[in-house]
Copies of this chain bind each other. A is one copy, B any other.
Amino acid sequence: MTRLRKLGAVATATASAYGSVLFLHSSLVSAGDNGGGSPLEALRKKVHDPGAVVPAREAQQSALKAAGKSNPLDVLVIGGGATGSGTALDAVTRGLRVGLVEREDFASGTSSRSTKLLHGGVRYLEKAVFNLDYGQFKLVLHALEERKQVIENAPHLCHALPCMTPCFSWFEVVYYWMGLKMYDLVAGRQLLHLSRYYSTKESVELFPTLARVVNDRSLRGTVVYYDGQMNDARLNVGLACTAALAGAAVLNHAEVVSLLKDDDGKRIIGARIRDNLTGKEFDTYAKVIVNAGGPFCDSIRKMANKNAQEMISPSSGVHIILPDYYSPEGMGLIVPKTKDGRVVFMLPWLGRTVAGTTDSSTSITYLPEPHEDEIQFILDAISDYLNVKVRRVDVLSAWSGIRPLALDPTAKNTESISRDHVVWEDYPGLVTITGGKWTTYRSMAEDAVNAAIKSGKLTPTSICVTNNLRLVGGEGWEPSSFTVLAQQYKRMKSTYRGKVVPGVMDSAVAKHLSQAYGTLAERVATIAQNENLGKRLAHGYPYLEAEVAYCARNEYCESAIDFIARRTRLAFLETNAARKALPRVIEILANEHKWDNSKQKEELEKATEFLKTFKSSKNAQFHDGKHS
């Protein structure tokens, strides 16, 4: 009887899944009804015009300064992570006047330290089925929809990744197979690819380093399913740049010093901002402020009400980077239950292997550092499942990211348990959005903008269109786009003696440029060719000198850290390689931004200090004396 009830629940839920698909199509029609069609087309031209260039940083700053009390922005977004950038993009594409300020750099916090997965929530589905929890089931439906959306909007930065789940008993084979088939079914049209079972022989062929025996249990095969993978920092930068192209005044390295209130002190009407590059302060006014400060959103809330109750329960996740030979290209490994019950994953990413596990509690800090015991736990956990010797000395980088798990202070406990993100206005004019995950950033942003429109009684000219808008670099991009770079461009390299020699635009570099800049990769290749910036910045990595120049001109790359951590991922991939690349990166940035010698020295010091927060084997701090 219990099983029949569960089946009934699933059947009902499945019907709802398809119902929601139909509903989603209605909103597309609604967009048309509201004239979203032609404005959307105009918007696409604005963003994707081959001659389109983002406004200079000075222009962005001027636009924010010009938003006075009598001429306020519609929305000012605080925080340039995934949610904040997504909100800015959503708002500006609805025709609102939008500003975005970020204290550090786009994606400098949580948004660049994620697992890089766009997952549909297969584990939530497990909970939904076993606990008959419809709320969890809705989360799965929602995540599946958004996963597909992100991949379609940024095809150059996201792709489907097969994830292998090893099975060490025939029960596990059946259990995971059925569970993942249900996942396929629930996904419906949001499916990336069907899951399937592979025998032990096939599995080892697909994943050569996979162990056949783990803790005296033999591998009975694996079940492979698909989730999305992305470059989180570049996706975030892409969001900010797309918003800028669409007309938003986005400004990184700009800190909110305080919030401004109206005359009777009952509504937030603006913010005092300091440009951290120049030290100058100015006021910006907006009808609504959206607080998307992630782990720091409570400190923003306390600027409005110093007695505001904390809503962030911070949780940190550690990730380590291992050499490419730990995992095959194009196949990840996810172990749903290790011996202590936590999930461990190991995924190929940008030519390396990223491994990690689930979260633990932490305190909020700007530059979180992974603990050695967390790194060791990951190494121990994956070594059980690999036939390659797992060594601490192989850790090329390790980082910690704080995930702002959110409590809605206005909700009952049972309600908040199943909610994924929270949108809340606990002070008039200040809408806070926090919690959630990368996969659903778009709909989080949509919720935030909807709340802002309601709060400020704004009048957008269009309904939300971000479900239909490609990010800059994504329109017209195809997986084979890189071949144009390989065929038509050369990497001109300046040697130490000042001579210029031509180099091949090899496939590794061409693919990297295409998968980082999308259709704009030819602009980078042109710089590499015409300005003799064709050298690689670090041995074994496809990053070119030309990218530094391009990012400084077109992606608001204002510091060395911006480049090695977010515009490229070198700091996250190999700490030592990033350190070695720093002098040249700073040299090129200095040329672009007219830095004097003292500024260059400062940049080197800051970046070196930043890299110390990544625990590769070179700068590990061992506490147990067991490692050398």
Which A residues contact B (CB, under 8 angstroms)? 160, 193, 202, 204-205, 208-209, 323-326, 329, 387-389, 391, 394, 478-480, 482-484, 486-487, 504, 506-507, 510-511, 539-540
Contact = CB atoms under 8 A, between A and B. Distances in A.
A205 B160 contact: yes
Complex A-B, nearest 10 residue pairs according to Cβ-Cβ distance, in ascending order:
A208-B479, A208-B480, A388-B483, A209-B480, A325-B507, A325-B483, A325-B486, A324-B507, A387-B480, A388-B480
9 contacts: A160-B205, A193-B202, A205-B479, A208-B478, A208-B479, A323-B507, A325-B507, A388-B483, A388-B487
Given A391-B487, A487-B394, A510 B479 contact: no
Contacts of A329: 329
A483 B193 contact: no
A78 to B, nearest CB: 39
Copies per complex of this chain: 2
A237 B247 CA distance: 65
Contacts of A205: 160, 479
Given A325-B510, A540-B504, A540-B506, A204 B483 contact: no
A325 B482 contact: yes
A478 B325 CA distance: 14
B209 A483 contact: yes
B540 A323 contact: no
Contacts of A326: 483
Contacts of A209: 480, 483
Nearest to A198: B193
Contacts of A510: 325
Given A325-B510, A504-B540, A506-B540, 12 more contacts: A193-B202, A204-B479, A208-B479, A208-B480, A323-B507, A325-B483, A325-B486, A325-B507, A387-B478, A387-B480, A389-B483, A389-B487
A350 to B, nearest CB: 14
A359 B387 CA distance: 45
B208 A486 contact: no
Contacts of A482: 325
A487 B208 CA distance: 16
Contacts of A540: 504, 506
Nearest to A485: B325
A500 B366 CA distance: 43
A500 to B, nearest CB: 17
A462 B208 CA distance: 36
Interface hub of A208, A323, A325, A540 (most chain B Cβ within 10 A): A325
Nearest to A160: B205
A70 B554 CA distance: 85
A324 B202 CA distance: 25
A169 to B, nearest CB: 23
A112 B484 CA distance: 32
A160 to B, nearest CB: 7
A213 to B, nearest CB: 14
Contacts of A483: 209, 325-326, 388-389
Contacts of A389: 483-484, 487
A505 to B, nearest CB: 10
Contacts of A506: 540
Contacts of A204: 479
Given A202-B193, A209-B480, A486 B160 contact: no
Nearest to A388: B483
A43 to B, nearest CB: 27
A480 B484 CA distance: 34
A499 to B, nearest CB: 16
Contacts of A487: 388-389, 391, 394
